Amino acid sequence: MKEEILRHLCKSLGKDAAHSSVHDWRVALSLALRDRMVDHWFRSTRETYETRAKRVYYLSMEFLIGRLVEDMAANLGLVEEARAALTELGQDYDAVVLNEPDAALGNGGLGRLAACFMDLLASLGIPAYGYGIRYEHGLFKQDFVDGRQVETAETWLTQRNPWEFERPEVQFRIGFGGHVDHHDGKAYWHPWETVLATAYDTPVVGWQGKWGNTLRLWSARPASKFDLESFNRGDYLAAGRSEALARTISRVLYPDDTTEAGKELRLKQEYFFTAASIMDLLRRFLSDHDDIRELPQYVAIQLNDTHPAIAGPELVRLMSDEHNLPMDEAIELARRCLGYTNHTLLPEALERWHVGLLGRVLPRHLEIIRAIDEDQQARHPGSPRILEHDHVHMGELAFIMAHKVNGVSALHTELVKSTVFSDLHRIHPTRIVNQTNGITPRRWLHTCNAPLSNLITREIGDGWVADLEKLKALNQRTGDREFLDAFSAAKRQNKTELADWIAQTCGIAVDPDAMFDVQIKRIHEYKRQLMNILETVALWNEMRDAPDAEWTPRVKIFGGKAAPGYHVAKQIIHLINDVARVINNDPVTGDLLKVVFPANYNVTMAERLIPAADLSEQISTAGKEASGTGNMKFALNGALTIGTLDGANVEIREHVGSENFFLFGLTAREVVERRHVHGYARAAIEASPRLSRVLGQIADGQFSPEDSSRYHGLVGGLYDHDYFLVTCDFDSYFDTQRRADQVYRNGSNWAAMALRNTASMGWFSSDRTIRGYARDIWQVDAVDRAGLEMTA
């Protein structure tokens, strides 16, 4: 390893060891690791070709990857070797690992799920490709200026990306606009504008390096040649125009996690990567099959939400316009290949395109969508329409074009059946299935939490890393004092490290013995960070009223970004920072209560915070969080959850036991009912002196003395249209927090409950999730690769 690193430093980077920076060492190490992956990768690809195995194609606008060095080293079993090599070379391994920028090609859970799935598809030996966009700028970087969120462009690609292989030879022409001619019963689309999609491949090697798949990300290039004539005339802008246009498509990730962007660029991005992916997989299929009718036997395409839903019409277009299949047959064949995962019921996130826009950008696809709509009507008269009120409804399109539609938790799937797709569910009663989300135990325990991971391995061996259900064996230790102490000590070590990091990055001293109470996720009204900060103020009030009472010291930790155009979410961020400033400087409460909100939450920060958390905040309005995956990561790392009966919380609670979960709040059904009660929010506020007091303080400017009316709108909104029922759940949330305080003060019971959480989370491995997709949706075999020998 040492020689390989030195060789790359010299031969690939042109540096000598004496004059190399941390960055150079990191890139050299990455290249050395990548070398070790390539053999597995080639062997897997060869085997897939030889056995003509069915391939899975996972189409996703987002892959929230984070850093890769440690992940790759761990999967290849090379962490110790890499550490030793760098140490011998006089380098600090941890500093080298931390030098890597996060690949933040996603907004949150949806993108991170795609990354976890890539790990598991490789670990289970399922031949698969992830397809997405190689954004030049991932999710924006967040800073706080006077407590307000400020966004700047993220630049992960300014440094060389050592993991990818550029494939300039893999190129597809992607058309936009223009018109369609019909003659002799055939359609001919003449796009007005064309860009090239070129591929960049990142090998993804699974646990123990036994199987390698490909993450293929597309980058847009100008299709027309550089305009030398304009350039020579001195018209430099005209010369670069087509280049600028093309580059825009893969330039930025949409920083929006819930609302339809409504922008032409977003539609173009969606078509760009979907079309390139479909053309690529068809080319691969046709390279060793003659009959396109066999496609569904060899190809399973999964749509990660509706963002790639244009895949349906695109497949139909290629099969009918270019391979001359009759339209109805093309529709049926496409359907047998496609699966659609729904990730949200929030109405503002359900994609709809105005027919004017869609027809202008994709005129042939609009015709095909009309044909699909008619085909559905002919087969099922009265079925919900894809085209309605001048809009194309991408959810209906994805549903109708997929042979299976899945929700991402048991509760969410039931709501998919009973709300947004109830009519389609009646017509197609077996189409909707559930696949509760999962997480990769490699990144989210083995790699991010060494103290706990080592303890578990000492106790039960290392089999749990590949088979997370083995953690169940830890249940026998919940009465074992010595083991519980060791378990608590591992948590304590993570908390101490986090406390050091908080001191460095935020300048706030926190006590590692205080309860670390963490809410990290996108800032959104339905996730109710607002309720959390209101509860913080209420607790602060009561501590100040009786500073000598028996309190459980707390550190409230927040992390998350708000979509740049989401005004209320940005106000919530501002409020948290304002409250933090006041509380953190209060000598009365001192170490009893601190509020910490480090800027720029990302995967790397999650890897730091989750292992150190005592309490996991999963407090969304019931019925709104489709699943959540952060909730699983916390519980796996031995945090107790305070949560509502929402998304996967329901199943987590079932697995860890209701006595090891702090439940509060209205159920999804009660939420719907409560909204029908006239004046419910005002009534809830008036019934709660505690909440009234907090709202009064905030509205009066106690936390914003420089601008006392800053939160009038936010507080007024709670009185008048508290859609997410912060007011109605507040008291039950506050009381449940105090219950958590009590249990925490009795440390040993807390440790036993936390251990039950870790021990019971095996089911939430994405191993189980992927096996479910393979069995119920893709009809592919998960091959146990454990018998394969590692060759490198």
Q: For residue 209, how many other CB atoms are within 10 A of its CB?
A: 24
DSSP string computed for 105-159: ESSSHHHHHHHHHHHHHHHTT--EEEEEE--SB-SPEEEEETTEEEEE---GGGS
Active site residue 527: yes
Determine, following the binding rule CB under 6 A, whether residue 629 of this chain makes contact with ligand 73E: yes
Comparison of 109 and 384: residue with beta carbon closer to ligand 73E: 109
Q: Note every long-range contact of 328-331, with CB atoms under 8 Å and residues 24 or more positions apart, other chains counting.
A: 328/375, 329/293, 331/371, 331/372, 331/375, 331/401
Determine, following the binding rule CB under 6 A, whether residue 257 of this chain makes contact with ligand 73E: yes
Q: How far is the CB of 527 from ligand 73E (least distance, A)?
A: 9
Active site residue 186: no
Q: Report the alpha-carbon distance of residue 661 to residue 647 in Å, rounded.
A: 15
Are 339 and 298 in contact, with CB atoms under 8 Å apart?
Answer: no
For ligand 73E, which residue of 123, 219, 258, 602 counts as binding (CB under 6 A)? 258
Determine, following the binding rule CB under 6 A, whether residue 625 of this chain makes contact with ligand 73E: yes
Determine, following the binding rule CB under 6 A, whether residue 626 of this chain makes contact with ligand 73E: yes
Active site residue 633: yes
Comparison of 367 and 625: residue with beta carbon closer to ligand 73E: 625
Measured from each CB, the residue nearest to ligand 73E is: 109
Comparison of 529 and 552: residue with beta carbon closer to ligand 73E: 529
Comparison of 411 and 726: residue with beta carbon closer to ligand 73E: 411
Active site residue 141: no
Measure the N-to-C terminal CA separation of the chain; round to a whole number of Å.
12
Alpha helices in 546-588 (DSSP H): 567-584
For ligand 73E, which residue of 628, 638, 643, 772 counts as binding (CB under 6 A)? 628
Comparison of 53 and 410: residue with beta carbon closer to ligand 73E: 410
DSSP code at position 443: I
**Binding to ligand 73E, residues 422-441 (CB under 6 A):** 437
For ligand 73E, which residue of 99, 107, 376, 737 counts as binding (CB under 6 A)? 107
Could you give the 3-state DSSP secondary structure of residue 257? coil
Residues composing the chain: 792
Span from 190-198, 480-488, 619-627, 744-752 in contact with ligand 73E (CB under 6 A): 619-627
Span from 147-155, 252-260, 383-391, 597-605 in contact with ligand 73E (CB under 6 A): 252-260
Determine, following the binding rule CB under 6 A, whether residue 651 of this chain makes contact with ligand 73E: no
Are 140 and 154 in contact, with CB atoms under 8 Å apart?
Answer: yes
Determine, following the binding rule CB under 6 A, whether residue 632 of this chain makes contact with ligand 73E: no
Token pair in block for residue 591: 């170490």
Q: How far is the CB of 432 from ligand 73E (least distance, A)?
A: 15
Determine, following the binding rule CB under 6 A, whether residue 621 of this chain makes contact with ligand 73E: no
Q: Report the alpha-carbon distance of residue 488 to residue 748 in Å, rounded.
A: 9
Q: How far is the CB of 394 from ligand 73E (least distance, A)?
A: 11
Q: How far is the CB of 372 from ligand 73E (least distance, A)?
A: 23
Cross-strand pairs, 133: 218
Span from 106-114, 134-142, 550-558, 675-683 in contact with ligand 73E (CB under 6 A): 106-114
The 696-735 contact track toward ligand 73E, x by CB under 6 A, reads: ----------------------------------------
Span from 29-37, 254-262, 311-319, 590-598 in contact with ligand 73E (CB under 6 A): 254-262
Are 192 and 176 in contact, with CB atoms under 8 Å apart?
Answer: yes
Could you give the 3-state DSSP secondary structure of residue 665? coil
Q: How far is the CB of 25 from ligand 73E (least distance, A)?
A: 35
From the candidates 412, 521, 556, 785, give the one annotated as an active-site residue: 521
Are 751 and 711 in contact, with CB atoms under 8 Å apart?
Answer: no
Number of residues that bind ligand 73E (CB under 6 A): 20
Q: How far is the CB of 65 from ligand 73E (least distance, A)?
A: 15
Comparison of 305 and 367: residue with beta carbon closer to ligand 73E: 305
**Binding to ligand 73E, residues 355-414 (CB under 6 A):** 408
**Which one, of 334, 344, 267, lies nearest residue 301 by Cα?**
334
For ligand 73E, which residue of 269, 344, 602, 766 counts as binding (CB under 6 A)? 344
Comparison of 632 and 755: residue with beta carbon closer to ligand 73E: 632
Span from 33-41, 108-116, 239-247, 777-785 in contact with ligand 73E (CB under 6 A): 108-116
Q: How far is the CB of 181 from ligand 73E (least distance, A)?
A: 36
Where is 485: in which H helix or E strand?
helix 481-506
Determine, following the binding rule CB under 6 A, whether residue 53 of this chain makes contact with ligand 73E: no
Q: How far is the CB of 109 from ligand 73E (least distance, A)?
A: 3
Considering only CA atoms, give the Rg of the chain.
27
From the candidates 633, 653, 756, 785, give the one annotated as an active-site residue: 633
Q: Letter for the amino acid at 312?
A: G
CA atoms within 13 A on the CB side of 742: 7
From the candidates 403, 417, 527, 690, give the one annotated as an active-site residue: 527
Cross-strand pairs, 63: 105
Q: How far is the CB of 415 from ligand 73E (least distance, A)?
A: 12
Q: How far is the CB of 629 from ligand 73E (least distance, A)?
A: 5
For ligand 73E, which residue of 339, 560, 647, 717 counts as binding (CB under 6 A)? 647
For ligand 73E, which residue of 27, 28, 104, 113 counts as binding (CB under 6 A)? 113
Active site residue 522: yes
Could you give the 3-state DSSP secondary structure of residue 1? coil
Q: Report the alpha-carbon distance of residue 284 to residue 634 in Å, rounded.
A: 41
Q: How far is the CB of 171 from ligand 73E (least distance, A)?
A: 28
Determine whether 302 is exposed, middle or buried from the number of CB atoms within 10 Å of its CB (0-12, 13-18, 19+): buried
Q: Report the alpha-carbon distance of residue 368 to residue 378 in Å, rounded.
A: 15
Comparison of 351 and 578: residue with beta carbon closer to ligand 73E: 351
Determine whether 69 is exposed, middle or buried from the number of CB atoms within 10 Å of its CB (0-12, 13-18, 19+): buried
**Which one, of 602, 483, 578, 488, lies nearest residue 530 by Cα?**
578
Name the phi and psi angles at 403, rounded to 5. Answer: -85, -20
Determine whether 183 is exposed, middle or buried from the number of CB atoms within 10 Å of its CB (0-12, 13-18, 19+): exposed
Q: For residue 97, how many other CB atoms are within 10 A of its CB?
A: 21
Active site residue 629: yes
Q: Report the alpha-carbon distance of residue 113 to residue 438 in Å, rounded.
A: 8
Q: How far is the CB of 51 from ligand 73E (least distance, A)?
A: 32
Comparison of 48 and 277: residue with beta carbon closer to ligand 73E: 277
Comparison of 589 and 627: residue with beta carbon closer to ligand 73E: 627
Determine, following the binding rule CB under 6 A, whether residue 627 of this chain makes contact with ligand 73E: yes
Place of tokens 């101490």: 496
CA distances 79 to 29, 342, 457, 581, Å, are 11, 37, 16, 41
Q: How far is the CB of 408 from ligand 73E (least distance, A)?
A: 4
Span from 251-259, 502-510, 529-537, 570-578 in contact with ligand 73E (CB under 6 A): 251-259
From the candidates 629, 641, 727, 769, give the one annotated as an active-site residue: 629
Q: Report the alpha-carbon distance of residue 574 to residue 177 in Å, rounded.
A: 43
CA distances 142 to 66, 103, 150, 522, 576, Å, are 16, 15, 6, 12, 15
Which chain residues interact with ligand 73E by CB under 6 A?
Answer: 107-110, 113, 256-258, 305, 343-344, 349, 408, 437, 625-629, 647
Catalytic residue numbers read 343, 521-522, 527, 629, 633
